[in-house]
Structure 1
Amino acid sequence: MGKTKFLIPILAIAGFLGLSSIFVVDEREKALVLQFGQIRSVKEEPGMSFKIPFIQEVVRYDDRILSLDTDTIEVTPSDDRRLVVDAFARFRIADVVQFRQAVGVGGLRVAEDRLSSILNAQIREVLGADQVTSDTILSEDRRELMRRIQAAAQRSAAGLGLDVIDVRLKQTNLPEQNLEATFARMRAEREREAADEIARGNEAAQRVRALADRTVTETLSDAERQAQVIRGEADAERNAIFAEAFGADPEFFAFYRSLEAYEKSLKGSNSSMVMTPDSEFFDYLRSGTAPE
């Protein structure tokens, strides 16, 4: 009974010490075994491991891809148009030993602060470089600029044991105080372009109207010329017919011409004529025979 009374506490202490010496590394993390603050072993593979209870401790770090949103900063490209920029990065802890040595007990919080400073510095350096304008940042070249920021940040973050996988620019806007001026300039440019388009349209319309007027004038002139030719040919043919008729029967031709003269002179209400009675004009009215 006396031995049992001492055995149970001993077994309990042994069990506690045994459980305290066992730890499990998850597949989503890496672990360091520290002894009095010094790194004794690195556990990067998932599974169960052992440590010395009370003397050694286990520090765990996330092995997944992490994200970081940077603070909004202002950058000035080479065309001196300031832009408000913020970004986010994807990174992971590549070397836990180097990471521990770089950030100490501050862990991920300190690492994020230092990585944010690195990203902001690289964003300013890349976007403020020569030949980089605000139009370049807002164009398809933006992808190449982000790649350059990521590569530069990767080199700087390597000393922290971090691997910067990707960097993306979330927003690239003008500062609030510059927006109204920019909008006014954009409106003025659009109004100028509209005025230019209207002027070019009016010029084109004038050319079309002038061409149409010239075409109408040429068409009318050609039609008048053709009409004059046709009328001339008709008059010539009529005269030829009259001449042929006069040559065939001069007396009938004279009679026909007299009738035409009567019709024209006595047309409408004009039925009064003042002439001498022996005028040749009335030869066909005084008798039924033609004049000698």
Structure 2
Amino acid sequence: MRKLLIPIIVIVVVGIFTSLFVVEEGSRGIVLRFGKVLRDSQDNPKVYQPGLHFKMPLIDSVKLLDARIQTMNNQADRFVTKETKDLIVDSYVKWKIIDFSRYYLATGDGNRANAERILNSKLSDRLRSEIGQRDIKDLVTDSRGQLMQDVRNALNNGYEDKPSEVAPAATEASASSQEERKAPATADTLPVDNKLPLVNANSMAELGIQVIDVRIKQINLPTEVSDAIYQRMRAEREAVARRHRSQGQEEAEKIRALADYRVTKTIAEAEREARMTRGSGDATAAKLFADAFSQNPDFYAFIRSLRAYETSFNSGSDVMVLRPDSEFFRYMKSPSVGLKQ
């Protein structure tokens, strides 16, 4: 009896531990029984909130889904504006799961890659449609916020552009007239009675998710277009620079010519004034000398001779060849001779 008690206790303890599971905060749980989603009394898939829960050991399995807001960074893609101009748009999406049972069934065992692939396809189509209705000016101004809001609302509420893309691994059509949504064709294939209520096929509610926000991170022109625009801008700036330089050189030549004219005019006027002043001074001096010397011509002749002697006899080596009776030596003779003459 004691030998049988130990295995029984071990089996009971293992059964208790395998029947317990914990859903952490920020997650939600879905229980699968024999591969089929466990439903409540109202035939709705049961979603387990964070906490400690029980399940049937061995026959039940738990799938945990992330309930937090997710971020999907899209690869930059080329779009065409209303002006038929190409743009490279880089964007991202914030989304979260709002219907965990639908999300699990529609994405194939809660595969996030499948959900983001479908979301990325719908986002790209919607962005292409919205950008095609706007020009570049609208995309780089405040109206870009309206564009993001329109894209988010279209993803959440659905649109009539075209039927939505359905993941091949996530769903398959049924033979009934209502074309009810079936389980994904994967290794964990669910039975056909895992039905989902019908929703707008073009909305993200089809996947059980909600788009929280759509943002454009960056808008660039294609490389070939950017190079052409930069070359044109450079040529325009160089043309403007050449025009400014030529205008500056023209103004500089005008200023230099005006300065040269003023300098020449000032010098000429100064020279004229100087000559007139010198001429007036010379005339006044000549008049003074004439008036002074006219009073005594003999004294004037004597002074002139003394100045001539002073200038001529500066050096003892000077030689002068003159006649002895020359008028130059008139005042070097005896005073009587000089006075008589």
**What's the counterpart of residue 105 of structure 1?**
108
**Cα gap change, 1:56/1:210 in structure 2, threshold over 3 Å: closer, same or farther?**
farther
Give the drift of 1:24.
0.9
**Cα gap change, 1:58/1:257 in structure 2, threshold over 3 Å: closer, same or farther?**
same
SS of the equivalent of 1:27 reads coil
**What's the counterpart of residue 93 of structure 1?**
96
**Cα gap change, 1:231/1:127 in structure 2, threshold over 3 Å: closer, same or farther?**
farther
State the Cα RMSD in Å.
4.5
Match of 1:69 among 59, 73, 93: 73
**What's the counterpart of residue 244 of structure 2?**
197
Structure that is richer in helix per residue: 1
Distance 1:115 1:179 in 2: 30
Specify every segment of 5 or more residues in structure 2 that has no aligned partner in the other structure, as ranges: 157-202, 310-319, 332-337
Asked if the contact 2:29–2:48 (Cα under 8 Å) also holds between the matched residues in 1, the reply is: yes
Match of 1:210 among 257, 269, 294: 257
Asked if the contact 1:93–1:99 (Cα under 8 Å) also holds between the matched residues in 2, the reply is: no
**What's the counterpart of residue 185 of structure 2?**
none
Asked if the contact 2:97–2:103 (Cα under 8 Å) also holds between the matched residues in 1, the reply is: no
**What's the counterpart of residue 46 of structure 2?**
41
How do residues 6-45 of structure 1 correspond to structure 2 at under 5 angstroms? 8=7, 12=11, 15=13, 17-33=15-31, 36-37=36-37, 38=39, 39-44=44-49
Distance 2:151 2:7 in 1: 58
TM-score of the superposed pair, with normalisation by structure 2: 0.59
**Cα gap change, 1:261/1:69 in structure 2, threshold over 3 Å: closer, same or farther?**
same
Specify every segment of 5 or more residues in structure 1 that has no aligned partner in the other structure, as ranges: 263-270, 273-281
Q: Deviations over 1:15-46 (max 9, x none)?
A: 555444422112242334567445443334x3
Q: Deviations over 1:198-240 (max 9, x none)?
A: 3233223213322321232233133223323432332233234
How do residues 74-223 of structure 1 correspond to structure 2 at under 5 angstroms? 74-89=78-93, 91-97=94-100, 100=103, 103-105=106-108, 107=110, 108-125=112-129, 127-133=131-137, 137=140, 141=141, 144=142, 147-158=145-156, 159-160=203-204, 161-165=209-213, 167-170=215-218, 172-175=220-223, 177-178=224-225, 181-223=228-270
**Cα gap change, 1:119/1:133 in structure 2, threshold over 3 Å: closer, same or farther?**
same
**Cα gap change, 1:115/1:180 in structure 2, threshold over 3 Å: closer, same or farther?**
same
Asked if the contact 2:152–2:214 (Cα under 8 Å) also holds between the matched residues in 1, the reply is: no
Q: How many correspondences in the alignment?
A: 268
**Cα gap change, 1:283/1:193 in structure 2, threshold over 3 Å: closer, same or farther?**
same
SS of the equivalent of 1:232 reads helix
Asked if the contact 2:29–2:63 (Cα under 8 Å) also holds between the matched residues in 1, the reply is: yes
Q: Deviations over 1:142-174 (max 9, x none)?
A: xx4664454334323435332434524246231
SS of the equivalent of 2:136 reads coil
Percent of aligned pairs sharing the same letter: 27
